[in-house]
Amino acid sequence: MSIKINRRELMLTSAGAALSSLLFPGAAFAAYPTRNINWILMWRAGGGADTATRIFLKYAEKMLGKKVIVQNITGGGGAIGYTAAKSAKPDGYTLVTIQGDLPKFEPKALAPIKIDDFDIAAAFAFQSPVVVVRADAPWKSLEDFVKDMKDNPGKRTIGISDIGGTYHQPTALWADAAGFKLKAVTFPGSPQQAVALLGGHVDATVTWVKPNIPYVKEGKLKFLGYMGSKRLDDYPDVPTLSEVGYDVVWEHPYGIGGPKGMPKEALVALEETAKKVWEVPEFQAELDKLGLTVMRKGSADYRAHMHKMQSDMTKALKLIQG
């Protein structure tokens, strides 16, 4: 039995398919995912990165239509988890939280891990540090504080976490941009920083926003400046450092990635899923409870953000090392 194909019908069908792909670009990638997805997280269960990732996945799973199984592979300051992720088969079924610690490995020479070892689909959240002082401190603004730092070089102290860490790096960039001498004092974390600041053991801290909010509400502490690119919605009177004239933006992000060489259909589907999750009010509210903000960066923008972070880290570490 022979089948005759009308040439005109074939041309119309082909044209229709081409038009459909232009109008509905995601349709060509509707096959992904066809099975459950493994997701590597390099930090402990219940921690900040773990909680942010699981909140995102709660909404992403519904949109992807498949279960995402999180595996916490910890150790080596994140190196073990990232190594496991970059070594996995790049088929789109092993993903990883690409966060603000990935750019550290090259400038710190910690492990053979590079940003470009991964395909990056999108970001979904970030947090930025804030400059905090006591409410009864003499400085009414960030400019006042910087002027005092310049007038009293080496006398004022700023509480951070570990040397060369998440708080220290942007603080070093700020000191360089503002032209003051930084005298940093380390603490195990944000709660200890707050206690030291309240007790008058340091003059200021650079830390996350969330742990300090209760003290701000009680009138014991105040925010002088924020290191994000835009002002905080809940504290619109607190300027960003860049507004005041210091070219410092430090947004510690969380996002989606996988081993280099993932199928295009997987990356497109993941990016489109992230874009949908960004706009879910419940997702935004859950992030807010953690002190996080939605980061609306797709694949190209998020990769650029990571490389900019690495450049800033490299500069900050040089400043810290003298």
d(CA 236, CA 217): 15
Q: Evaluate if residue 139 carries a pLDDT over 80.
A: yes
Band of residue 30 on the pLDDT scale cut at 50, 70, 90: low
d(CA 97, CA 45): 13
Q: Name the one residue in this structure whose structure tokens are 């279960």.
A: 67
CATH code of 205's domain: 3.40.190.10
Tokens of 244: 């005041």
Show the beta-strand stretches assigned E in 177-318.
184-186, 204-208, 221-226, 252-259
Q: Evaluate if residue 69 carries a pLDDT over 80.
A: yes
More confident residue, 11 or 209: 209
Closest residue by Cα to residue 36 from 56, 66, 71: 66
Measuring CA to CA, how many Å separate 103 from each of 65, 90, 110, 111? 32, 21, 11, 11
Band of residue 154 on the pLDDT scale cut at 50, 70, 90: confident
Band of residue 22 on the pLDDT scale cut at 50, 70, 90: very low
Residues 275 and 306 in one domain: yes
d(CA 322, CA 175): 13
| Any domain includes 67 | yes
Q: Give the count of domains, the chain.
A: 2
Q: Name the one residue in this structure whose structure tokens are 């402990």.
A: 44
Q: Evaluate if residue 297 carries a pLDDT over 50.
A: yes
d(CA 27, CA 48): 35
- The sheet with strand 118-127 has its strands ordered as 68-72, 37-41, 94-99, 252-259, 118-127
Lowest pLDDT segment from 24-33, 127-136, 165-174, 309-318: 24-33
Residues 215 and 167 in one domain: yes
Residues 51 and 72 in one domain: yes
Residues 225 and 154 in one domain: yes
Lowest pLDDT segment from 6-15, 27-36, 76-85, 284-293: 6-15
Tokens of 18: 């081409």
| Any domain includes 4 | no
Tokens of 137: 């401190």
Taken as a whole, the chain contains a residue count of: 322
| Any domain includes 1 | no
| Any domain includes 233 | yes
* Average pLDDT score over residue span 105-127: 96
Closest residue by Cα to residue 309 from 163, 105, 47, 130: 105
Residues 60 and 108 in one domain: yes
120-159: string of b/e by CB count within 10 Å (b at 16+)? bbbbbbbbbbbbbbbeebebeebbebbebbeeeeeebbbb
User: Last residue of a domain, which of 191, 226, 244?
Assistant: 244
Cα 194-211-110 angle, rounded to 5 deg: 85
| Any domain includes 302 | yes
d(CA 201, CA 91): 52
Residues 266 and 117 in one domain: yes
* DSSP states of 78-91: GHHHHHHHHTS--S
Band of residue 322 on the pLDDT scale cut at 50, 70, 90: confident
Helix (DSSP H) and strand (DSSP E) numbers for the chain: 12, 10
User: Last residue of a domain, which of 226, 244, 262?
Assistant: 244
Q: What is the pLDDT of residue 222?
A: 98
Residues 177 and 314 in one domain: no
Residue pLDDT, tens place only, 43-61: 999 888 999 999 999 999 9
| Any domain includes 5 | no
CATH code of 106's domain: 3.40.190.150
Q: Evaluate if residue 24 carries a pLDDT over 60.
A: no
Computed over every residue of the chain, the mean pLDDT equals 91
Number of Cβ within 10 Å of residue 184's Cβ equals 18
| Any domain includes 48 | yes
Residues 102 and 41 in one domain: yes
| Any domain includes 21 | no
- The domain of 137 spans 129-244
The overall pTM is greater than 0.75: yes
Q: What is the pLDDT of residue 15?
A: 41
Residues 37 and 122 in one domain: yes
Residues 118 and 150 in one domain: no
User: Last residue of a domain, which of 244, 278, 308?
Assistant: 244
Q: What is the pLDDT of residue 6?
A: 47
* Average pLDDT score over residue span 266-286: 98
Residues 210 and 148 in one domain: yes
Q: What is the pLDDT of residue 31?
A: 87
Residues 232 and 178 in one domain: yes
Q: Evaluate if residue 142 carries a pLDDT over 70.
A: yes
Q: Name the one residue in this structure whose structure tokens are 């600041």.
A: 197
